[in-house]
Structure 1
Amino acid sequence: MRGRIGRVVGTEGGSVDAVIGAQRLSLPSRLRALITGMTVLAAVCIAGVALTLRPPGEDWWAIPLVTVMVAISRLWIVRRYIGGSGILVDWGEAVLIVGLVLISPAWTVLTAALGTAVAMAWKRFDPVKAWFNVATTIVGVSIAALVMVAIAGAQPDPISWRGALALAVMATISALVSELACAAAVAFSRGDTFRTVLFEGVGTRALGLVMNFAIGAMILAVARYAPYLLVVLPPVLWLLIEGFAGRVRTRIERRMWQRLTVATREMGHLDIDAVLRTAILESAKLFSADVVEVEWKRANGDAVLTRGDAAGKIWQGKPGIYRPEQTAYPVSLVNGSGPSFGELRLCFRSQVRLPEREQLALSTLGSALAGTMQNAYVHQQLHDLATQDSLTGLANRPCLMAEGNAVLTSGHGTVALMLLDLDHFRQVNDTLGHEAGDDLLRVVADRLRARVTPGETLARLGGDEFALLMPGQADLKGASGHARDRARTLLGALGGPLVVDGVELSVEASAGVVAAETGSCDMVELLRRADSAMYRAKARGVELVEFDAERDTASVDRLALASEMQAALAADDQIVIQLQPSVDLVGGAPLGAEVLVRWKHPRRGLLSPASFIPDLEHTDLIAPLTRRVFELALGTYRTWLDDGIDAPVAVNLSARSLLDRELPEEVGRLLAEFDVPPDRLVLEITETAMMSELEIVDEVLTALRELGVRLSLDDFGTGFSSLQSVARVTVDEIKIDRQFVIAMGSSRQAEAVVRMTVGLAQTLGLRAIAEGVETAQQRAELVKLGCHGAQGFYFYPPLDPDDAKTVLAARGGPDGPPQ
């Protein structure tokens, strides 16, 4: 009996047939060696048969009978399919049991070979495929017959215990030889390990062997003791076979859906290339396809074709290549009710039947792949928008800051930074227009990009400012020298004339460089130092200046700022808050208010957080400042609540605050002190801070959740892992960053990000709040996209607590906390 799982090729034979047929265009070297080896063994066996063959006696009629029975056993196959593969069951061992009782072992080998050849010819199998089946049959039957003769002699009595044992051993050895040859052929073809293939479905094959022996014994018993019952034996055998086939079908279909579940889970990547690679690999294994193709269209209309196989070989290029495979089963890639954007195709080198159940499984896999590809593509768009400058395609400021901080905190070696600014760039804009200015920036970016070496990061910071991050030097002196050399190289790249809008321009630039040991400062400080050096270069009229710490006054200003903040915290009237309400986009009712800290500086006036928070994050003053903001926010809410106004207040948490293990306890104490329900406090956290790999961040966020406060993911889409941040931490609200809202009317990508974010929030049951809404058109677009709420100057500017209270009271209060 054959129980191997293998591809069904042509007119379906055993699994060995499938392998040989599928590979006849290009046989792997190990498969060719296996066929050659089986041929040599078969020749040896035939030579042995020829030496022992005797003319038939009175039982000559049994020879054609056994030959016909072998052919029928090879043709009467139980077929149960799974993904282009099948459990193919023949009854060869049962026939061998009968044949070895009726005729001599030598004639049994010849009749088995002849019957198999007749069946292969009837099915019109490929010659190589047919010969491999015949050779395997000759070798298996010869070895099995030899062992049987050694145990009980030729033509054993099946009724005696020795004869029954000999026939059982014979059937087992014949099946084992077939299974070993088949497993080797499948493993060599698919690139799997021999052990994996050999033990695949071993239980089903063992049961099949038992049934073969039982059927053979039944035929012999009926023939000896009740020959008149032979006429009713075929229906009985048919019932047994169908019962076995039903059991096989149930097991293999259950395994198919289990493997399909694993395949769809394995595709859960957020990188499009990883999604395609996994989909191709899993599809090739699940459906035993020679090649799997995924053809799809990017947003810009470019078509991409990715081809691969179960061995992990992947090729990507443009569609239209020659496909050598004869059979292809396509399924459209459709996400939801939208249009098709591509196809997943299973390709087979031979004619292959893919039954209806397996086509349904393929359709399911295609739907899963479509959804995963769309998620990965949106994630890539988010990543590009968050990390790339839309004008030049270079890295942007957030990307440079993140990579710089990663290097500076690595503790290995040094890092250098060059800051480059074009001279007289405004004159180009004023003279030739802003479009020409943009063209000039693109040309400059291309010139600089051509000089960047591996390991460096080139970024556009905004306007006409560019930066080059250079890690990797062993010592500070070497890093400084390397930075100066690289700066001169990039300045030299701008030395030749540049043609913009048909006008030849000569561009000059000024650059500042700085080098620092890792761990000595953060990226904000490194950028400030490079900026200081660059402006000294401009002031002195030279191309390049290196940062000089002795001439730097900013560190003194930071010390003064810290001292002044201590005085501000000791006073009662310097640290104040303003509140900016967010509103329901449909009804207009306020949903709550975001707390914005302000510093009434005695000399510099009212300061926004950007003027002092970044510097304070490097001091121990950030914790007491955060505590003061909580006190002011919760005190304001308590006052509102006493006057019948129930509007949640949202407080921004800095990245440094998430490293404070005492923060949750402090928040809990203040909630109790002001008698504020925890769910009326919303903590806004940027995704960059949330995605820190430090365990302490997870501990703090978990403790805050356990308090019952709400979490809001602020500036969504500006970090590197927007989708992962939602999956990693349970939040109640997503705030769409203002840059996407502002650009929504002019950028399809920005609109796609807003639409995706709103859809994601709706799917996860979260509230989506758009920041920075300044026009009626933006509000209308957000309403059309289904965004729940918004915040911005179009509705309300930041207000003092009393003014915010008046607004909230006039509008009737919020519609409740985030759900």
Structure 2
Amino acid sequence: MTLARNLILAVALVTLLGGLWVAAESPPWWRLMLAIGVAAATHLLRQRLRVGPAVFYLAWGEAALVISLFLVPAGWVPLAVLCGAMVAVAGRALHFRRRPPETVPEVAGVLTIAAGVGSLIAVSISDPYASGLSGPVALGLVLAALGYVVTVTGLAHLMLRLRRGVSAGLLLRRTLVYKLTMLLGSLAVALPVAALARAEWRWLLVLPLALWLLHWSYTYRIRSRERRRMWARLAAATRSLNLSDEAAVAAAGARGALEVFAVGRAEVQLSRGTAGAQAWVADTRGVRPRDALPDPETRVCTAVPLLAAGQEVGVLRIYFPEQAGPGNGEYTALRVYADALAAALQDTATHEELHRLLERSVYDAQHDRLTGLLNRAALLARGETAVQLSPHGSPVALLLVDVDHFREINDTLGHAAGDQVLTVTAARMREHAQPGELLGRLGGDEFALLVPVPGRAALSEVQQSAVERGRELVRRLAAEADINGVTVAVESSVGVVVAPAGTADMAELLRRADAAVRQAKQGGGTVGWYDPRQDASSPDRPALLAELRAALDRNDELVLALQPVIELATGAPIGVEALARWRHPQRGLLPPAEFLRAVENSDLLGLFTEYVIDRALAVAAQWARRGSPLPVAVNLSARSLLDTRLPRVVSALLRKHRLPGRLLVVEITETVITSEQPGVLEALRNVRALGVRLSVDDFGTGYASLTLLTQVPLDEVKLDGEFVARAAESVEAAAIVRTTVELGREIGIRVVAEGVETEPQRTLLTRLGCTAGQGFHLAAPTGAEQIGELLRSLSAGAKRQRSSPAQTA
């Protein structure tokens, strides 16, 4: 910077002395004073232009150049321009009572060089001082003024780049746009005045008045244009704040402030955060946390508090490049932008708090509070998905651990000691479990470990390995532990069961493992394995599957029970769920619990799924033809989604019944969404691409995290009826309902409450913000023959309820 500055001063000195040396004659003193006065007047009228960390002043110096070329010889023009500019600097310093800026020497050098360039261009065509105004002189003056503008602008921006280290490209383009327009105004005023002053010097008195009028007209235009640009950028910056992460909003806020207010540095500091106050700074090098930046330069900082709901969530700081702060228009924009930024930060904080609360509530609902392991419901749900998604026929092992003499520990050492025993047992089993295995506490003193076995290992080998692991668990648990100051050895019994995937569900595996524990205790050992010959309660499933195959062929035994989904406020039906029932010739009407497990673990699943979707769409098609289309929901299992034929089957059935995809809702469980099978998510996306809606059933009872739910665009979540039943008595259940509803509203997903059995439950759900429900109190499941009449009755009741306020009024 010093070298460049000295070089400019040296060139300016050579220009000044060289012009005086080559001048043919000295002008009269009064002409020189007039030229200096004109230059001073034109430099007193200037317009400030701020871009980034730099401020550029636009003056009417080219007008002074044109007039000076008429008043004094060309060699004396640089001296007149220099003296006039310095008079203007001194006058401004005295008026505002401020020290002149430190850049005065280099600015003086730039003006001197530019005046010399302009004078040289003018006299190379025709000397105005000697010949007066003519065509060649006018052309020379236009080119001289243009050379002056280009030289001043180029050298000034070069000095700004060297002094502040910022790119001057944007500032150079914007300055030239404004400066070239000023050039036209300067020539339009200066050329006529110069021609008249040639005959009578008093015409020069018109120049300040004309320039003053032109200056304020042009100033208004520049300010209006800059104000429009600022508000346009404010709108764009405000839109960019629509983010879900607080740190991202703060970074976008700092970047937006940098662009909106055309400054070199802006900062957003948060008043809260997990790691205390945090700040993001934007400057010409980008946006980054403040800790990664050096200390800010000494500049005026305008700080605006970010207020949301009466609380300060942070501070917005704008670092202006000169002593003056923002103008009236800028301060208004700054306040508007600060309010938008505060609202965006508050929205992200609220969303994150809802997310954390619901995650915590769902976690608590799925985990045992004492040990932190999965509870019985979550273990059953996750285990069922793991069993269903295992390759058909691959071995699955389940180890059931029962702590022996646990009641004696409670009776002799107290319940606190019993809790410690359970905690120690859980910790040792957690150390024993391997990745991919599921560990949970079933309740009381029972623990379970599910071990899926990849590949096609022989069942006998897997059983032998599982028995060895059971014995290892017994040895680990038997290690001495300090329980309330008493050394205790935890004795346990382990039941082992191994079965091919697809032959038994999770509930059946637990039943068999429990039988194995009893066999171990009855035999006097610590580890027992399941022996079907000693299990008198083993169900007879092959006969049931054969009968079901025949029922699918006959097409009259498997029927649908249809249950409406109701709008809680009005009672209007907004959808229908299709529930499969089996009219068994000998056993009567069978609910799904008595045959669906067998279907899901058999090769009949594909045919059964297609049959149910076909029957459900047939009913929906009838409603559509009558002018009352309603979506119908069908439950699908994880294995159904792994069937590569499923998207083609759904597409074909929609075409068969001439229905749009939006009239079919596919209901899945949380465990299906979060399964590690890549084919599941792909199948859901393929089905979703048909326009079919996706719904998550029994929400809150599985083990899904909210982050994983975003992997598939969902339309609906159905809150499990257990939370609905407990919401009136349990703060935790009510919190889950409320936060689920609020989160659903935030991300555009409808929340349906299942199991609404009483009017108080309906009232409470409405108060908690839930808009839709399903349950016997609202509408019981009914057959396809009666569902039309039920829907018409519900719609009529809703219509009466909507019109009743108007009638009362």
- Please give the TM-score of this superposition, normalised by the length of structure 1: 0.65
**Residues of 1 paired with 2:289 and 2:498: CA distance?**
42
- Give 2:667's aligned amino acid: I
Identity of aligned residues (%): 25
Alignment of 1:28-427 (within 5 A): 38-50=1-13, 53-54=16-17, 59=29, 61=33, 65=37, 68-69=40-41, 72-73=44-45, 76-78=46-48, 89-91=57-59, 94=62, 97=65, 101=69, 104=76, 107=79, 111=83, 114=86, 118=90, 130-131=101-102, 133-134=103-104, 137=107, 140-141=110-111, 144=114, 148=118, 151=121, 157=127, 159-182=137-160, 194=167, 198=169, 200=170, 204-218=174-188, 220-227=190-197, 228=203, 229-265=206-242, 267=243, 269=244, 271-283=245-257, 286-287=260-261, 288=263, 289-296=265-272, 305-310=277-282, 311-314=286-289, 327-334=302-309, 340=311, 342-343=313-314, 345-346=316-317, 348=319, 352-353=325-326, 354-383=330-359, 385-386=361-362, 389=366, 391=369, 423=403, 427=407
Tell me if structure 2 keeps the 8 A contact 1:137–1:178: yes
Give SS of 2:578's match. strand
Unaligned runs of 5+ in 1: 1-37, 317-322, 549-554
Equivalent-residue separation in structure 1 for 2:433 and 2:64 (angstroms)? 74
In structure 2, the CA distance between the partners of 1:290 and 1:466, relative to structure 1 (3 Å rule), is farther
* Residues 1:205 and 1:744: Cα distance change in structure 2 (over 3 Å): farther
User: How far apart are residue 538 of structure 1 and its match?
Assistant: 9.5
Deviation at 1:208, TM superposition (A): 1.1
- Contact 1:456 1:468 (C-alpha < 8 Å) held by counterparts: no
Alpha-carbon distance in structure 1 between the residues aligned to 2:512 and 2:712: 41
- Worse-superposed segment, 577-586 or 456-465: 456-465
Does 538-547 or 751-760 show the bigger shift? 538-547
After TM superposition, give the deviation of residue 588 of structure 1 in Å.
Answer: 6.1
Aligned partner letter, 1:686: I
Give the whole-Å Cα distance in 1 for the aligned partners of 2:163 and 2:378.
54
CA contact (8 A) 2:723 2:734 kept: yes
Q: 1:430 to 1:796 in 2, by over 3 A?
A: farther
Tell whether the 8 Å contact from 1:296 to 1:341 is kept in structure 2 after alignment: no
C-alpha deviation, 1:307, in angstroms: 1.4
* Equivalent residue letter for 2:770: C
1:735 aligns with 2:718: yes
How far apart are 1:175 and its partner, in Å? 0.8
Structure 1 residue 243, shift from structure 2 partner: 4.2
SS at the partner of 1:773? coil
| Shift in Å, 1:247 | 4.5
Residue 621 of structure 1: which of 595, 601, 604 is its match?
A: 604
Residue segments in structure 2 that go unaligned for 5+ positions in a row:
21-25, 129-136, 198-202, 292-297, 532-537, 803-809
d(CA) in 2 for partners of 1:291 and 1:809?
A: 60
Q: Does 1:661 align with 2:645?
A: no
Q: CA deviation at 1:444?
A: 7.3
- Relative to structure 1, is the Cα distance of residues 631 and 100 closer, same or farther in structure 2, using a 3 angstrom cutoff? same
How do 1:739-758 residues align onto structure 2 when only pairs under 5 Å count? 740-742=723-725, 744-745=727-728, 751-755=734-738, 758=741
- Tell me, yes or no, if structure 1 residue 771 matches structure 2 residue 771: no
Q: Is the 8 A contact 1:685 1:713 kept in 2?
A: yes
Deviation string 1:450-475 (CA, Å, 9 cap, x unpaired) is 9999x98987576478899999x999
* Aligned 8 A contact 1:510 1:534 in 2: no
1:256 deviation in Å?
1.5
Following superposition, the deviation at residue 409 of structure 1 comes to 9.6
Choose from 591, 594, 600 the match for 2:577.
594
Cα deviation, residue 611, structure 1: 6.5
Q: What is the aligned-residue RMSD (CA, Å)?
A: 6.6
Deviation at 1:698, TM superposition (A): 4.4
1:511–1:172 CA distance, 2 compared to 1 (3 A): farther
Equivalent residues of 1:387, 1:395 under 8 A apart? no
Question: Structure 1 pair 536/795, CA: closer, same or farther in 2 (3 Å)?
Answer: same
3-state SS in 1 of match to 2:278 = strand
AA of the residue aligned to 2:146: A
Q: Relative to 1, partners in 2 of residues 1:66 and 1:795: Cα closer, same or farther, differing over 3 Å? A: same
Counterpart Cα distance in 1 of 2:396 and 2:151: 72
| CA–CA separation in structure 2 for the residues paired with 1:540 and 1:595 | 45
CA distance in 1, matches of 2:183, 2:698: 71
8 Å Cα contact 2:306/2:338 also seen in 1: yes
SS in 2 for 1:355: helix
Indicate the SS of the match to 2:271.
Answer: strand
Paired residues of 1:418 and 1:487 also in contact (CA < 8 A): no
Range with bigger deviation, 801-810 or 617-626: 801-810
Q: Does the CA contact (< 8 Å) of 2:266 and 2:316 recur in 1?
A: no
CA contact (8 A) 1:444 1:494 kept: no
Do the aligned residues in 2 keep the contact of 1:291 with 1:347 (CA within 8 Å)? yes
Q: Deviation of residue 292 (structure 1)?
A: 0.8
- Pick the structure with greater CA Rg: 2
Alignment-mate amino acid for residue 609 of structure 2? T
Alpha-carbon distance between aligned partners in 2 of 1:543 and 1:474, rounded to the nearest angstrom: 29
1 CA distance for matches of 2:57 and 2:474? 71
**Cα 1:581–1:241 shift into 2, 3 Å:** closer
CA distance in 2, matches of 1:294, 1:738: 41
The answer on whether the counterparts of 2:193 and 2:207 sit within 8 Å (CA) in structure 1 is yes
* Segment of structure 1 superposing worse, 604-613 or 654-663: 604-613
How far is 1:782 from its partner?
0.9
Contact 1:156 1:166 in 2 (8 A): no
Q: Which amino acid aligns with 1:39?
A: T
Specify the SS of the correspondent of 2:241.
helix
Contact kept? 2:400, 2:517, Cα under 8 Å: no
Change (3 A) 1:498 1:575: farther
Cα distance, 1:355 vs structure 2 = 1.1
Deviation at 1:616, TM superposition (A): 4.5
